[in-house]
Amino acid sequence: MVEQVGPEVRGIAKGDFVIAPFIYCDGTCAHCRAGVTSQCVAGAAFGNHGIDGGQGEAVRVPLAGSTLVPVPGSGHSDETMRSLLTLSDVMCTGHHAAVSAGVRSGSVVAVVGDGAVGLCAVLAARRLGAARIIALSRNPVRQQVARSFGATDILDERGDAAIDAVLEMTNGVGVDAALECVGTGQSVATALGIARPGSVVGAVGVPHGVDNPMETVIFRNIGLRGGVAPARAYIPELLDDVLEGRINPGLVFDFETDLDHIEDAYKAMDERRAIKALVRVGR
Ligand SMILES: [Zn+2]
C-alpha cells in the first residue's frame, strides 16, 4: 500500500495497492526496453547498496513509477493476496525458466527442483500449454502441489538415475524444455542431461559448484538461457491471470509468521519443513 509519493514519481498515487518486483528499474534504459528489467543500468535488488530490504513495515522504493505495478480492484481475498505476493519474485522466476526454455503448446517439459520457484515453473509451463510436465521431487507435500499446478508425472530420482528415467519416459529423446530451478552442480547436470538436442535449458537457480557446461552446449547442441527474472516485465500478464483466477501460485506458501519470528521462517525453509514462508507485516 503506497503511503507517500516523491515529487518526481508518475503513475503511482497514495493509497494505491501495488506489487514491487525484487529489483527496481527505470523502465527506459536499453535493457529495460529490451525486456530485461533485471539488468537495468539504474536498477538493483532491494536490500543491497543501502536500499531498504523488502521485508519491513515500510520500504522506500527507488524509481517507484517504473518499478511498482498497481493492482486493480480492492478487497481481494486472502487466497488472491497470497498469489499476488508470488508475483514479486517466485512466480515470475518460474515463468522466466519456462519462457527462457521456449515452452509452448504441446511441449514436453521437465522441471528440476521442487522449491517455490520449481513449483511455479510447473505452473508456468502448464499456463504456456505444455502437454507433459515431469516434476522431479521426492517430497510428498511438494509432489502434491506440483500435481495441482499441472505436473503430469512425478519422478523421485536424482542425478544419473533421474537422467536415465527421463530418457526412458521420452523414448530416449529427452525433453523439449528442461527447467533448472536449483543451481547445484548435480541439478544443472541433470537438466543438461535430460534436454533433447536442439533444446534450450531454462536456468534460474542461483549457481554454486556448477561445472562449465560448454562441452554439452557444443557437442550435444544444448542451449542455455535464463538468469535473473525480469519480474517487472512479466507482472502485468501474470497479474491478469491471478485476478481472473486462472492461476493460483499462492499455494506455495505453507508457513506463516510475522516480523518478530522471521528467523523461524528462514529456518523452516532451510530445513525443508516449509516450501515458502509468508510474513505478515503491519496491520
Ligand atoms: Zn532500465
Query: Ligand 1: distance of its center to the CA of 139 in Å?
Result: 39
Whether residues 48 and 124 fall in one domain = no
Query: Ligand 1: distance of its center to the CA of 65 in Å?
Result: 12
Number of domains in the chain: 2
Query: Ligand 1: distance of its center to the CA of 44 in Å?
Result: 10
Query: Ligand 1: distance of its center to the CA of 224 in Å?
Result: 24
Query: Ligand 1: distance of its center to the CA of 249 in Å?
Result: 27
- Computed from CA positions of residues 230, 235, 236, 237, in that sequence, does the dihedral angle turn out positive or negative? positive
Query: Ligand 1: distance of its center to the CA of 35 in Å?
Result: 9
Whether residues 199 and 121 fall in one domain = yes
Residue for grid cell 529495460: 32
Query: Ligand 1: distance of its center to the CA of 140 in Å?
Result: 41
Query: Ligand 1: distance of its center to the CA of 234 in Å?
Result: 15
Query: Ligand 1: distance of its center to the CA of 22 in Å?
Result: 14
Whether residues 144 and 186 fall in one domain = yes
pTM (2 decimals)?
0.97
Whether residues 7 and 44 fall in one domain = yes
Phi and psi angles of residue 176, each rounded to the nearest 5 degrees, phi first: -70, -30
| pLDDT for res 166 | 98
Whether residues 138 and 112 fall in one domain = yes
Whether residues 60 and 89 fall in one domain = no
Query: Ligand 1: distance of its center to the CA of 102 in Å?
Result: 24
Whether residues 198 and 227 fall in one domain = yes
- Domain span at residue 119? 78-283
| pLDDT for res 183 | 97
pLDDT in tens, 255-270: 999 999 999 999 999 9
Which residues of the chain are modeled with pLDDT < 70?
A: 283
Last-in-domain residue among 71, 87, 110: 71
CATH number at residue 216: 3.90.180.10
| pLDDT for res 283 | 58
Query: Ligand 1: distance of its center to the CA of 23 in Å?
Result: 11
The cell numbers describing 192, all together, are 543438461
Strand order in the sheet with 175-180: 153-155, 132-136, 108-112, 175-180, 195-203, 223-226
Query: Ligand 1: distance of its center to the CA of 34 in Å?
Result: 9
Whether residues 146 and 280 fall in one domain = yes
Query: Ligand 1: distance of its center to the CA of 29 in Å?
Result: 4
The cell numbers describing 28, all together, are 527506459
